[in-house]
């Protein structure tokens, strides 16, 4: 997925992100793709999807693809993987989630 664009720095570490999953709300400084992954981890697919549904960034589209894969709608996931410039994903959803989180960290 590549490194983040200048000016789009997330101010939390991987450790802080993981710890924040014990809370009720994501850290406010998360950008939309990371916040979507946060909500997905909390079991709120609909809220996660709403955060990336209209994003036109590679990061947003990659998370969007993952969410449709998790939903079980392969054709829609493949569409978004293509838009994100990706042609593959991790075999296990958990591995893909982790790779996305790590790829979105500064």
**Per-residue pLDDT reduced to its tens digit, 78-93:** 999 999 998 767 789 9
**What integer pLDDT is reported at residue 5 of this predicted model?**
41
**What integer pLDDT is reported at residue 10 of this predicted model?**
59
Whether residue 50 is predicted with pLDDT greater than 80 in this model: the reply is yes
In which band, very low, low, confident or very high, does the pLDDT at 14 lie, cut at 50, 70 and 90?
confident
**CA–CA distance, 73 with 41 (Å, rounded to integer):** 19
> CB neighbours (10 Å) of residue 92?
9
The DSSP letter of residue 7 is T
**What integer pLDDT is reported at residue 106 of this predicted model?**
77
Give the residue, 1 or 47, on which the prediction is more confident: 47
DSSP 50-83: HHHTT--SHHHHHHHHHHHHHHT-HHHHHHHHHH
């Amino acid at each position: 997925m590549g490194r983040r664009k200048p000016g789009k720095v997330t101010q939390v570490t991987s450790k802080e992100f993981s710890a924040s999953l014990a809370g009720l709300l994501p850290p406010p400084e998360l950008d939309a793709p990371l916040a979507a992954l946060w909500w997905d981890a909390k079991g709120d697919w609909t809220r996660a999807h709403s955060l990336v549904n209209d994003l036109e960034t590679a990061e947003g589209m990659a998370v969007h693809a993952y969410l449709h894969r998790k939903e079980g709608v392969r054709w829609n996931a493949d569409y978004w993987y293509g838009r994100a410039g990706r042609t593959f994903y991790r075999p296990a959803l958990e591995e893909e989630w982790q790779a996305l989180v790590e790829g979105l960290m500064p």
